[in-house]
C-alpha cells in the first residue's frame, strides 16, 4: 500500500483529496496497489472538511513517517513549497506537484535530486490543467524534432477574452467570475499579465529541448491593455482573440513569446473557448497535432496530480524519462519575427498609415467614430515599431 501526504488544502489540494477517495478503486487497479491518504498539511485545522482527520501542521511529521512514500504539493508559491519538496525528496519520498512556479524555478534541481535518490518528481498538473501534455511530450513525441509548441495555456484569460468577445462583457466583471470559479491564481496578475502561461511554456520547452528555459527571457505581454474598442475590430473581422504562448525551434535558434493574437477561423486555436486550453505541437515528421481540454479548475487539475500519484505508485519510474538539465537554453528576441498587425488609427491618419503599413484592409466599426482599423502587410516587429512611431497609432494587436 502507498501512503500519501498532501501539502496544502486549497482548491487543488482539496480536489486531490476528493479524487483519491472518489476514484479509489480505479486508482488501486491502475497503481497495482491501494493508495491511501495519510496526512494533509495546512496551517488551518480544516474543521468540517474531508481533510479534518488527516490534518498536521508540521512538515516534520510527514518527513519522519517512513510509511509515507508519496507527497503531493499543492501549496503554490516557492517560499514553503521549495524547501518542503526538497526535504521530501532528500528523505526518499516521491513528489507530485501542480506548482508551476516551483517547477519553472527549481525543476532541474528537483529532477536531479529525485533521480539521485531513486524517487520521482512529477509535475503534469503544472501545465495545461487536466491535459496530459508533459506525459505526451516525454513518452509520445519522441521520434520527432519538435519545431513548435504554441498554445492557449491559461484558462482565466481565455475565459475573460471569450466573454468579452462573445458577450461584450466588461473585463473586471469576467475576472471576478474567473476568481469565483477557482481558475484564477490567488494573485490574478500572474494570469492577466501573462506570467502564468509564460512559466508554462518555459516548462514545456525545457522538457522538450532538455535545457533550462528561463521564463524571464521570454517576451511577455498580457491582456490588460486590450480594450472593448480593440475587441470590436476583431469581431468585425470575424476573428477571435487569444493569449498565445509560443516556442519555436528554427535551425539552431529558439524563439519564444507570450502575447494576445488575433486568430482567424482557419486557425485551430480559434474555437478554443472559455477556460479550455489547447497545445499545438508541430513535429518535423508528425506535422501538426493539438491537445485540447480543461486547462484549469479544481477537479481537472487534481485529476492530473493524481495521475502522477498513480504513475509513482505503479513504479513506472517516469522521472528518468524527463531530460531537463540545469544548462541554460538561449532564447532569441522577437525583433525579427514577421507578421501582420491590426492597428487602430485616428481618421486623419488613415491615408498615411495605409501607405506606411502597406495595409491590405481598412476596417470600420459602427459606433466608433473618428477612427479606423487597418490590417497591415507582413513585416518584422522591428519594422512595425519604427512605422508605428512615425505614424502614431491608437493601439495594435498581433495577428496570426
Ligand atoms: N490560473 C491558471 C489558469 C490555473 O487560469 O490557467 C491553471 O494553471
pLDDT per position as a tens digit, 74-110: 999 999 999 999 999 999 999 999 999 999 999 999 9
**In 284-370, which ranges are E strands?**
287-294, 338-339, 341-346, 361-363
d(CA 252, CA 36): 47
Task: Using a pLDDT cut of 70, give the percent of the chain over it.
Answer: 100
Strand 219-220 and strand 253-263: the pairing is parallel
Tell me the per-residue pLDDT of 42-58, one tens digit each, with 9 for 90 and over: 999 999 999 999 999 99
Rounded to whole angstroms, the Cα distance separating 243 from 249 reads 20
Q: Is the pLDDT of residue 242 over 90?
A: yes
> How much is the pLDDT for 186?
79
Question: Tens digits of per-residue pLDDT, 6-64?
Answer: 999 999 999 999 999 999 999 999 999 999 999 999 999 999 999 999 999 999 999 99
- pLDDT the model gives residue 187: 87
Residue 258: HSE in the Cβ half-sphere, 13 Å Cα cutoff: 26
Rounded mean pLDDT, 356-373: 96
Which tens digits make up the pLDDT trace of 148-194? 999 999 999 999 999 999 998 889 899 999 999 989 987 899 999 99
Ligand 1 lined by 152 (C-beta under 6 Å): no
Contacts of 287 (CB under 8 A, 6+ apart): none
Model-wide pTM > 0.85? yes
Percent of the chain exceeding pLDDT 90 equals: 97
* Closest ligand 1 atom to 190 CA: 1
Read off the pLDDT of each residue in 139-153 and give the average, rounded to a whole number.
97
Q: What's the rounded mean pLDDT across residues 215-236?
A: 96
Is 130 near ligand 1, meaning CB less than 6 Å away? no
Q: What is the pLDDT of residues 295-321, one digit of tens each?
A: 999 999 999 999 999 999 999 999 999
pLDDT of residue 261: 98
**Residues 188, 193, 195, 197, CA torsion sign:** positive
Give 132 Cα–ligand 1 centroid separation in angstroms: 15
Give the active site residue among 38, 93, 105, 200: 200
Rounded Cα–Cα distance for residues 369 and 375 (Å)? 18
Could you tell me if 388 and 343 are in contact, meaning their C-beta atoms sit under 8 angstroms apart?
Answer: yes
How far apart CA 365 and CA 347 sit, in angstroms, is 12
- Please name each of the domains of the chain with its CATH number: 2-129+299-321 (3.40.50.720), 135-295 (3.30.360.10), 338-399 (3.30.70.120)
Spacing, Cα 252 to ligand 1 middle (Å): 32
Ligand 1 proximity of 222 Cβ (cutoff 6 Å) = no
Ligand 1 geometric centre to CA of 385 (Å): 31
State the Cα–Cα distance between residues 4 and 20, nearest whole angstrom: 10
Closest ligand 1 atom to Cα of 277: 6
Q: Among this protein's residues, is 242 annotated catalytic?
A: no
Q: What CA–CA distance (Å, rounded) separates 166 from 203?
A: 31
Nearest CA to 396 out of 234, 205, 201 is that of: 234
8 A C-beta contact, residue 379 and residue 388: no
Give DSSP secondary structure letters for 141-206.
TTSS-EEEEEEE--HHHHHHHHHHHHH---HHHHHHHHHHTT-S-SSTHHHHTSHHHHHHHHHHHH
Characterize the bridge pairing of strands 68-73 and 94-97. parallel
Ligand 1 pocket residue status of 104, Cβ below 6 Å: no
Q: Look over the chain and give the mean of its residue pLDDT values, rounded to a whole number.
A: 97
Check if 302 has its Cβ closer than 6 Å to any atom of ligand 1. Answer: no
Q: Do strands 240-250 and 253-263 pair parallel, antiparallel, or not at all (unpaired)?
A: antiparallel
Distance 135 CA to ligand 1 centre (A): 19
Q: For position 41, what pLDDT does the model report?
A: 98
Please report the pLDDT score of residue 185 as a whole number: 86
In angstroms and rounded to an integer, the radius of gyration of the C-alpha atoms of the chain is: 23
Amino acid at each position: 500500500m502507498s501512503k500519501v501526504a498532501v501539502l496544502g488544502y486549497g482548491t487543488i489540494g482539496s480536489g486531490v483529496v476528493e479524487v483519491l477517495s472518489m476514484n479509489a478503486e480505479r486508482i488501486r487497479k491502475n497503481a497495482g496497489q491501494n493508495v491511501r491518504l495519510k496526512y494533509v498539511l495546512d496551517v488551518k485545522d480544516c474543521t468540517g472538511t474531508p481533510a479534518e482527520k488527516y490534518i498536521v501542521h508540521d512538515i516534520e511529521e510527514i518527513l519522519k513517517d517512513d510509511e509515507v512514500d508519496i507527497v503531493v504539493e499543492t501549496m503554490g508559491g516557492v517560499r514553503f513549497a521549495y524547501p518542503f519538496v526538497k526535504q521530501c525528496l532528500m528523505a526518499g519520498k516521491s513528489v507530485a506537484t501542480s506548482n508551476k512556479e516551483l517547477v519553472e524555478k527549481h525543476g532541474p534541481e528537483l529532477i536531479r535530486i529525485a533521480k539521485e535518490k531513486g524517487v520521482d518528481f512529477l509535475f503534469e498538473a503544472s501545465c495545461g490543467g487536466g491535459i496530459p501534455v508533459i506525459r505526451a511530450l516525454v513518452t509520445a513525441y519522441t521520434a520527432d524534432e519538435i519545431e513548435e509548441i504554441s498554445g492557449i495555456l491559461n484558462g482565466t484569460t481565455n475565459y475573460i477574452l471569450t466573454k468579452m468577445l462573445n458577450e461584450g462583457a466588461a473585463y473586471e466583471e469576467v475576472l471576478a467570475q474567473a476568481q469565483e470559479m477557482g481558475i484564477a491564481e490567488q494573485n490574478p496578475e500572474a494570469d492577466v499579465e501573462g506570467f502564468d502561461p509564460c512559466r508554462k511554456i518555459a516548462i514545456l520547452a525545457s522538457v522538450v529541448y532538455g535545457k533550462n528555459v528561463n521564463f524571464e527571457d521570454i517576451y511577455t505581454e498580457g491582456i490588460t491593455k486590450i480594450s472593448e474598442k480593440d475587441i470590436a475590430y476583431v469581431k468585425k473581422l470575424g476573428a477571435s482573440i487569444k493569449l498565445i504562448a509560443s516556442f519555436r525551434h528554427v535551425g539552431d535558434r529558439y524563439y519564444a513569446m507570450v502575447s494576445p493574437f488575433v486568430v482567424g477561423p482557419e486557425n485551430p486555436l480559434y474555437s478554443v473557448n472559455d477556460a479550455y486550453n489547447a497545445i499545438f505541437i508541430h513535429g518535423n515528421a508528425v506535422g501538426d497535432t493539438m491537445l485540447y481540454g480543461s486547462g484549469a479548475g479544481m477537479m481537472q487539475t487534481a485529476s492530473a496530480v493524481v495521475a502522477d500519484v498513480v504513475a509513482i505508485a505503479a513504479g513506472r519510474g517516469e522521472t528518468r524519462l524527463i531530460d531537463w538539465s540545469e544548462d541554460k537554453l538561449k532564447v532569441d528576441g522577437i525583433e525579427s519575427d514577421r507578421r501582420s498587425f491590426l492597428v487602430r488609427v485616428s481618421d486623419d491618419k488613415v491615408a498615411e498609415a495605409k501607405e506606411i503599413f502597406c495595409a491590405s484592409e481598412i476596417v470600420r466599426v459602427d459606433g466608433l467614430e473618428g477612427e479606423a482599423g487597418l490590417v497591415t502587410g507582413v513585416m518584422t516587429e522591428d519594422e512595425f515599431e519604427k512605422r508605428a512611431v512615425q505614424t502614431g497609432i491608437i493601439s495594435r494587436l498581433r495577428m496570426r
